[in-house]
């Protein structure tokens, strides 16, 4: 492999905070399912910026809409109205139950808004502030790096060094209803889950479990808040991951795939609870600006025009079957294949760092996750030939693995 630019590495070393691990290459261009590094090497991108570039890189329609909007109005304050935010909400509303939206810039911000919703609900429920505020989250959850997000993320590697965190979180085990039921008390206000835990290794909640959680929430008057930041906007082959379980949550956080690579996050709150936010209770200077909303609108338009949800559901199934055949062929390396649609995880017998590096060398980008997992997150419009090439690279690499 040709070495990446030593000048760029030196600039990083000098000016960029060391909060990310050492990067294996420097990317300069993307088109469709492919990206190129600064030595001209081509990669198939089956990481999509960790479930972000659903349309692949630089989809021409998405780029054109962003370019056009950039010449008209990029930012204005949420103190005024602008059409794009309402148009985006109207588009998203086709995929949710009746409710309302708030737009922000990232997944962590969307989750902060959900946690604030739970606090407002608790204040309203108890009739006084600070009494009912407990949220039951899940072991191994990941909800982001803000203080609210970290507090809801019971992972030592995330929380270490930042304590004391936000009060009021307790954690059950996914797919174990009793571990949630037993944590409910008169101070509990919400249950908070990812339909599939992405960062911790593509660990799906079963439909029965999510249905049971919905019933528990109804029985105890708790909010069911879902973090769809990684699973949402088509990744599982349905617009939202929870649809696979046939339930309806009370609130949803989304981000990543929503802008297709342009930063935007959102929460949806069902009509029953959306009045809890009143003027002055929350806000974001940049949240839902005309440019970000245009990017997200065009993502949804392309998904609809190109019928990408159905495509992800069908092709994702096939890809999972092909990966499962590799799991059968290489039981010494692979434990199982998890997930749905284009949210797939290869569970490995041991730390997959070297495996992922070998995939890079052969021109395939994948992303590690917890539980020795390799995430396979292709763009929704990836071609059959590109999937075949990725499978061949994975097989060759497994073949050479000690």
Ligand X SMILES: Cc1ncc(COP(=O)(O)O)c(C=O)c1O
Beta-strand ranges (E) seen in 39-195 are 42-45, 99-104, 134-138, 169-172, 188-193
Nearer to ligand X, 203 or 398 (CB): 203
Query: Smallest distance, Å, CB 378 to ligand X?
Result: 17
Tell the smallest beta-carbon distance from residue 257 to ligand X (Å): 11
- Sign of the CA dihedral with 92 first, then 94, 96, and 97 last: positive
Q: How far is the CB of 98 from ligand X (least distance, A)?
A: 25
3-state secondary structure of 102: strand
**Burial, 141: exposed, middle or buried (Cβ in 10 Å; 0-12, 13-18, 19+)?**
buried
- Under 8 Å between Cβ of 273 and 121: yes
Closest CA to 187 of 167, 168, 171: 168
Q: Please state the closest distance from residue 127 (CB atom) to ligand X, in A.
A: 32
CB of 106 to ligand X, least distance (A): 4
CA nearest neighbour of 8 among 22, 271, 19: 22
Contact call for residues 356 and 366 (beta carbons, < 8 A): yes
Residue 201 three-state SS: coil
Please provide the distance, in angstroms rounded to a whole number, between the alpha carbons at the two ends of the chain.
21
Nearest to 122 by CA among 217, 219, 221: 221
Dist. CA 25–CA 16, nearest whole Å: 16
- State the burial class of residue 126 (Cβ atoms within 10 Å of its Cβ: 0-12, 13-18, 19+): middle
Q: What's the min distance (Å) between Cβ of 372 and ligand X?
A: 18
Task: Count Cβ neighbours within 10 Å for each residue of 89-103 and write b for 16 or more, e otherwise.
Answer: bebbeebbeebbbbb
Interface residues toward ligand X, by CB under 6 A: 50, 106-108, 111, 142-144, 194, 198-199, 227, 229-230, 255
Measured between alpha carbons, how far is 17 from 157 in angstroms, rounded to an integer? Answer: 18
Q: CB nearest ligand X: which residue?
A: 107
Nearer to ligand X, 69 or 140 (CB): 140
Closest to ligand X by CB, 101 vs 142, is 142
Nearest 5°: phi and psi at 298?
-70, -30
Number of Cβ atoms within 10 Å of the Cβ of 322: 17
C-beta of 134 vs 143, nearer to ligand X: 143
Cα–Cα nearest to 375, from 365, 384, 386: 365
CB of 45 or CB of 194, closer to ligand X: 194
Q: Closest distance between ligand X and the C-beta of residue 45, in Å?
A: 17
Nearer to ligand X, 229 or 398 (CB): 229
| Nearer CB in complex with ligand X: 106/298 | 106
Residues 209, 345 contacting (CB under 8 angstroms): no
C-beta closer to ligand X: residue 196 or 298 = 196
* Nearest-approach distance from CB 96 to ligand X, in angstroms: 18
Q: How far is the CB of 117 from ligand X (least distance, A)?
A: 15
To ligand X, the closest distance from the beta carbon of 116 in angstroms equals 15
Between 144 and 341, CB nearer to ligand X? 144
DSSP H helices in 155-201: 156-159, 177-181
Nearer to ligand X by Cβ, of 57 and 143: the residue is 143
């Amino acid at each position: 492999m040709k070495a990446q630019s030593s000048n760029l590495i030196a600039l990083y070393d000098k000016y960029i905070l060391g909060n990310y691990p050492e990067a294996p290459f420097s990317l300069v261009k993307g088109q469709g399912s492919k990206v190129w590094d600064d030595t001209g090497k081509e990669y198939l991108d089956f990481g999509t910026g960790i479930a972000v570039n659903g349309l692949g890189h630089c989809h021409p329609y998405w780029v054109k809409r962003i370019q056009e909007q950039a010449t008209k109005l990029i930012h204005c304050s949420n103190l005024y109205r602008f059409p794009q935010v309402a148009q985006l909400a109207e588009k998203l509303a086709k995929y949710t139950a009746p409710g309302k939206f708030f737009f922000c810039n990232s997944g962590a911000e969307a989750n902060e808004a959900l946690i604030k919703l739970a606090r407002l609900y608790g204040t309203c429920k108890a009739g006084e502030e600070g009494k009912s505020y407990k949220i039951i989250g899940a072991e191994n959850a990941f909800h982001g790096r803000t203080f609210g997000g970290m507090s809801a993320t019971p992972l030592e590697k995330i929380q270490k060094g930042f304590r004391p965190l936000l009060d009021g979180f307790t954690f059950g085990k996914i797919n174990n209803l009793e571990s949630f039921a037993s944590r409910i008390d008169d101070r509990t206000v919400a249950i908070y889950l990812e339909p599939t835990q992405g960062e911790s290794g593509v660990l799906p909640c079963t439909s029965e479990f999510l249905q049971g959680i919905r019933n528990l929430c109804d029985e105890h008057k708790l909010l069911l808040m879902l973090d769809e930041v990684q699973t949402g906007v088509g990744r599982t082959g349905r617009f939202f991951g929870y649809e696979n379980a046939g339930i309806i949550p009370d609130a949803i956080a989304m981000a990543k795939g929503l802008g297709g690579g342009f930063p935007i996050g959102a929460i949806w709150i069902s009509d029953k609870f959306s009045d809890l936010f009143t003027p002055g209770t929350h806000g974001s200077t940049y949240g839902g600006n005309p440019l970000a909303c245009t990017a997200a609108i065009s993502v949804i338009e392309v998904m609809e025009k190109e019928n990408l949800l159905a495509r992800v559901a069908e092709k994702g199934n096939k890809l999972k079957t092909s990966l499962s055949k590799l799991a059968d062929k290489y039981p010494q390396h692979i434990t199982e294949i998890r997930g749905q649609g284009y949210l797939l995880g290869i569970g490995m017998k041991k730390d997959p760092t070297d495996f992922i590096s070998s995939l890079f060398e052969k021109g395939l980008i994948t992303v590690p996750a917890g539980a020795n997992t390799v995430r396979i997150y292709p763009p929704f419009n990836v071609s059959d030939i590109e999937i075949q090439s990725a499978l061949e690279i994975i097989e060759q690499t497994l073949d050479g693995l000690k």
